[in-house]
Amino acid sequence: MAKQFDTIALVGIGLIGSSIAREIKDKGLARSVTVSSRSDATLKRAQELGLGDRYTTSAAEAVKDADLVVVSVPVGASGAVAAEIAANLKPGAIVTDVGSTKGSVIAQMAPHMPPGVHFIPGHPIAGTEYSGPDAGFIGLFKGRWCILTPLPETDEAAKAKLRTFWETLGSMVDDMDPEHHDKVLAIVSHLPHIIAYNIVGTADDLEAVTESEVIKYSASGFRDFTRLAASDPIMWRDVCLHNKDAILEMLARFSEDLAYLQRAIRWGDGDKLFDLFTRTRAIRRSIIQAGQDTEMVDFGRHAMDQK
């Protein structure tokens, strides 16, 4: 495939950064890739995995010659990274990120961006419950959406270039207003993670039911939540702190709805329960039809088990 950039700098080389690195190499999208992590151990591992061409613990150093800079760090670290790299950014360079919150990332990074640099925030809607450079793989972005939240003044050519980059990685690309992005993600991603973490915590705290029982019988439903609840704790702490308003709104709605359901259970109102339980089936069908989940029984677990 044709090279899309001369030099790409990857600031942060966890699950997302390392998946991007593998895709760039696999598809030959850049002449040179510089990998940066502030952790020595992570950087060493990235080097062992051969994820880039150059390696440095200095983000400032990493971005020097880059035409594309991809910042893949917990959203709470975006501001510090922006401040660190600002002076070394090449005029005409595209700077993007992969953070799960966009309003906060823009507030943290945009003020540092020098004129002539194209800052285009982004968010690939892809991930797994694993983290770190070993967790990345080719195909992570395939068939998944990537949302760009460009600022009003964003250069169209730069945006088109970044869009092509994500499309080459297999993504479908959408533009969105940052505030709307944060609301959408609060319901489709942040609330589900918080609920999953919460229910696993509740189960862990019980006195009448042992942890060993929770584990043994988890196939009856509970285990589905444990995948999200095994996600990277730093990433998710930051998401909670950086999309507070939208998350609190969704939490309030969720709790309100749960109180309604709880009341129906207490008073034995089977019709209310049946109505909700019927309505929710249709949404899964739509998700499968949209190619955003497998229709295989049990997420395909049984098929994997039989191998």
Residues between 223 and 252 with contacts to its own copies, criterion CB under 8 A: 223-231, 233-234, 236-238, 240-241, 244, 247-248, 250-251
User: Rounded to whole angstroms, how far apart are CA atoms 141 and 17?
Assistant: 12
Q: Least distance to its own copies from the beta carbon of 212, Å?
A: 9
- H helix or E strand, kind and range, residue 98: none
> How many positions of this chain bind its own copies (CB under 8 A)?
116
Q: What crossing angle do the helices spanning 191-204 and 233-242 adopt, rounded to 10°?
A: 120
Task: Point out which span in 26-34, 45-53, 88-96, 199-207 binds its own copies (CB under 8 A).
Answer: 199-207
> Which residues ranging from 25 to 64 are in contact with its own copies (CB under 8 A)?
none
Return the number of the residue (6 or 298) whose C-beta is nearest its own copies: 298
Query: Around Cβ 71, how many Cβ atoms within 10 Å?
Result: 27
177 binds its own copies (CB under 8 A): no
With a CB cutoff of 8 Å and minimum separation 6, the contacts of 62 are 9, 10, 11, 34, 35, 36, 54, 56, 69, 85
Q: Which of 40, 115, 152, 283 binds its own copies (CB under 8 A)?
A: 283
Q: Which of 17, 41, 126, 155 binds its own copies (CB under 8 A)?
A: 126
203 binds its own copies (CB under 8 A): yes
Task: Point out which span in 41-49, 88-96, 136-144, 155-163 binds its own copies (CB under 8 A).
Answer: 136-144
Sequential DSSP letters for 177-195? -HHHHHHHHIIIIIHHHHH
First-to-last C-alpha distance (Å) of the chain: 35
In one letter, which amino acid is 236? W
Task: Point out which span in 17-25, 39-47, 154-162, 195-203 binds its own copies (CB under 8 A).
Answer: 195-203
280 binds its own copies (CB under 8 A): yes
Question: What's the burial of 291, exposed, middle or buried (CB within 10 Å: 0-12/13-18/19+)?
Answer: exposed
166 binds its own copies (CB under 8 A): no
> Which residues ranging from 79 to 118 are in contact with its own copies (CB under 8 A)?
100
